[in-house]
Chain A
């Protein structure tokens, strides 16, 4: 995942908003994704955004895409303890997804 970069850790208070940031390198990526991995589990697709969109909202999740800066962010509103997990940003390249290293989000009471 060396082409996709994200910060490694985020600590947030319960009820606050979380913002996870990601930068990618391939401007030809058609889709960008956010996955969630809980301890001992596989990766769960949270949401994706098509490259011609700037924003996508899905309940508590808001994805912002700045294609010029190749910057993607995921905002989680009203963060809950169940949101504690590792969040991966990914870009589509040819036939595969390339993942970032993941951001570990810890929700504190």
Chain B
């Protein structure tokens, strides 16, 4: 157990739907990062939050949004889902706003859009 908790582990939904993925960072970590892992694109950085504020944005689609709450957990919202959004979505956390000593990853949410 890495200390980063992601729920749900698996999600199957239809095209056009909206889903919410949840992440609880490791205790004491202030930063949360979201990554998408697909076979053709590899690991793509989506977005980072630090202590409730957006810190960095990567290749995140406009249909996707995220937030970090006062208790530091984060949610990634994916809407108007398309088949191509099927992927593993990872959350990671770190103690500070910089990568420095690396992230701790959760075990991921596998999203299947049918």
Contact = CB atoms under 8 A, between A and B. Distances in A.
Specify whether A and B are partners.
yes
A89 to B, nearest CB: 11
Chain B interface residue bracket vs A: 20 to 34
Nearest to A96: B45
A94 B100 CA distance: 10
Contact of B102 (A31, A40, A42, A94): A31
Nearest to A29: B99
Interface string B64-103: 0000000000000000000000000010100001111111
Interface of B: 2, 4, 31, 33, 42-45, 48, 50, 55-56, 58, 90, 92, 97-108
16 contacts: A1-B44, A31-B99, A31-B100, A31-B102, A33-B102, A42-B106, A43-B90, A43-B92, A43-B105, A92-B100, A94-B56, A95-B31, A95-B98, A96-B48, A97-B102, A99-B42
